[in-house]
Amino acid sequence: MLNKKSILRIDDLTLDDVAKVMETADSFTSISKREIKKVPTLRGKTVVNLFFEPSTRTKTSFEVAAKRLSADMINFAASSSSLKKGESIMDTLRTILAMQVNLIVIRHSDSGTVKMVDDNTPVPVINAGDGKHQHPTQALLDLYAIRSRFEKFEGLRVAFVGDFLDSRVARSGTRLFEKMGMDVSLVAPSMLIPEDHSDLNVYSSIDDVIEDIDVLYMLRMQFERQDRKFYPSVREYNRFLSLDSKRLARMKKNSIVMHPGPVNRGIEISDEVMGDRESPYDNILIEEQVTGGVAVRMALLYLILG
């Protein structure tokens, strides 16, 4: 079990915790491959998805994970709730807690709100993405995907490419990957890099790293968080930061490409590399990230509530 109430930041987890999550996820991966994808482990527990920002992957993944463990899952959509009638977030929380739920999964555009919810609730809270701050479960599922292709983490060369400035995925991922001994760098122009990027190596073009790295992590351009234009044009973006089949062909044998989704096709990754129903390239791990994400979230729910 995890010896902590909530997971708000990746630094809330020790190396032992991370290992425990990975190993537990392995045992839950097999459940998702069965015909009856359900075990009674969390029967009688109630989990609430409290999402104040849009989500496809994270919200659905937590819902599938909870249901596969037989927990009851309640999906709270802020846009159709009494928040629209002026009820405060704290009164909404009070109402939800009065229903005696066991765990809250929360996404909000403001990291302060996620912390405030955790400070004011006796039940565990999992951060499902707070503004530009953190997305710890995404970092864990990304690590799980990397683990499926490499025997050890130490020394792996990882490059995050694109909109680092707005990315909670990269903030959590960088912390976790460095903790695991990976060599992390950024590929982004100065206007897409925050001042607090510490001592990471920075490159301005994907061509500077494409032949040397093991993990190419393409970040989503977060247009919805940008109040001004951060890159001159899509053409310029394609020239320095996009992945197409020509660049893919230059990557090392056994190297992999990741993206947290949703992908802006033709910006971060070309249509041709993405493919129609699936990518024609077996080193594009986008769906594997999603599949493993369910097992990782089952592991977290089990280790916190089990």
Enumerate the β-bridge partners of residue 217: 160, 258
Catalytic residue selected from 45, 135, 220, 297: 135
Angle (nearest 5°) at CA 269 between 266 and 270: 50
Establish whether 85 is a catalytic residue: yes
Establish whether 58 is a catalytic residue: yes
Cα gap 69→240, rounded to integer Å: 44
Cα gap 167→222, rounded to integer Å: 8
Contact segment (CB under 6 A) with ligand CP among 33-41, 52-60, 117-125, 150-158 equals 52-60
Establish whether 225 is a catalytic residue: no
Out of 12, 20, 41, 55, which residue is the one contacting ligand CP (CB under 6 A)? 55
- The interface with ligand CP within residues 258-297 (CB under 6 A) comprises 260-262
Cα gap 304→306, rounded to integer Å: 6
Residue count at the site for ligand CP (CB under 6 A)? 9
Q: Residue 201: which of 139, 251, 211, 213 has the closest Cα?
A: 213
Contact segment (CB under 6 A) with ligand CP among 11-19, 56-64, 207-215, 263-271 equals 56-64
Out of 6, 24, 58, 113, which residue is the one contacting ligand CP (CB under 6 A)? 58
- Output 50 or 210, the one with its CB closest to ligand CP: 50
Establish whether 37 is a catalytic residue: no
Give the HSE-up count for residue 245: Cα atoms under 13 Å, Cβ half-sphere.
Answer: 9
x/- mask, ligand CP, residues 129-158, rule CB under 6 A, reads: x--------x--------------------
Are 225 and 191 in contact by the 8 Å Cβ rule? The answer is no
Catalytic residue selected from 57, 67, 147, 149: 57
Neighbours of 69 (CB within 10 A): 25
Binding residues (CB under 6 A) for ligand CP: these are 55-58, 129, 138, 260-262
Residues forming the active site: 57-58, 85, 107, 135
